Amino acid sequence: MKITFFSSKPYDKEFFGKVNKDFNFELDHFETHLGPHVLNLIENTDAVCAFVNDKLDAEVLEYLAKKGVKYIALRCAGFNNVDLEAAKRLGLRVCRVPAYSPEAVAEHAMAMILTLNRKTHKAYNRVREQNFALNGLMGFNLYQKTIGVIGTGNIGAAFAKIAKGFGAKVLAYDIKENQELKDLGIEYIALEKLLSGSDVISLHCPLMDSTHHLINKDSIAKMKENVMLINTSRGGLIDTKAVIDGLKSKHIGYLGIDVYEQEEKLFFRDLSHTIIEDDTIQRLMSFPNVLVTAHQAFFTEEALEQIATSTLTSLTHFEKNEQFENPNAVLI
Ligand code: NAD
For 10-62, write each residue's pLDDT tens digit: 999 999 999 999 999 999 999 999 999 999 999 999 999 999 999 999 999 99
**Quick one: pLDDT at residue 299?**
97
What gap in Å lies between CA 264 and CA 254, rounded to an integer? 24
- State yes or no: is 89 an active-site residue: no
Decide: 34 and 6 in contact? Cβ < 8 Å: yes
Q: Whose alpha carbon is nearest atom 32 of ligand 1? A: 206
Q: Whose alpha carbon is nearest atom 27 of ligand 1? A: 155
| Topology (CATH level 3) of domain 102-292 | Rossmann fold (3.40.50)
Tell me which residues have their CB closer than 6 angstroms to ligand 1. 77-78, 99, 102, 105, 150-156, 173-176, 204-207, 210-211, 232-234, 258-259, 295, 297-298
> Does the fold of domain 102-292 match that of domain 2-100+300-329?
yes
Q: Whose alpha carbon is nearest atom 30 of ligand 1? A: 233
For the segment 2-16, the average pLDDT, to the nearest whole number, is 98
The rounded Å distance from CA 155 to ligand 1 centre is: 7
CATH tag, 2-100+300-329: 3.40.50.720
The rounded Å distance from CA 309 to ligand 1 centre is: 21
Ligand 1: which atom is nearest the Cα of residue 297?
A: 40
Residues sharing a CB contact under 8 Å with residue 91, sequence separation 6 or more, in sequence order? 65
Boundaries of every domain in the chain: 2-100+300-329, 102-292
- Over residues 54-106, the pLDDT tens digits come to 999 999 999 999 999 999 999 999 899 999 999 999 999 999 999 889 999 99
What gap in Å lies between CA 143 and CA 210, rounded to an integer? 33
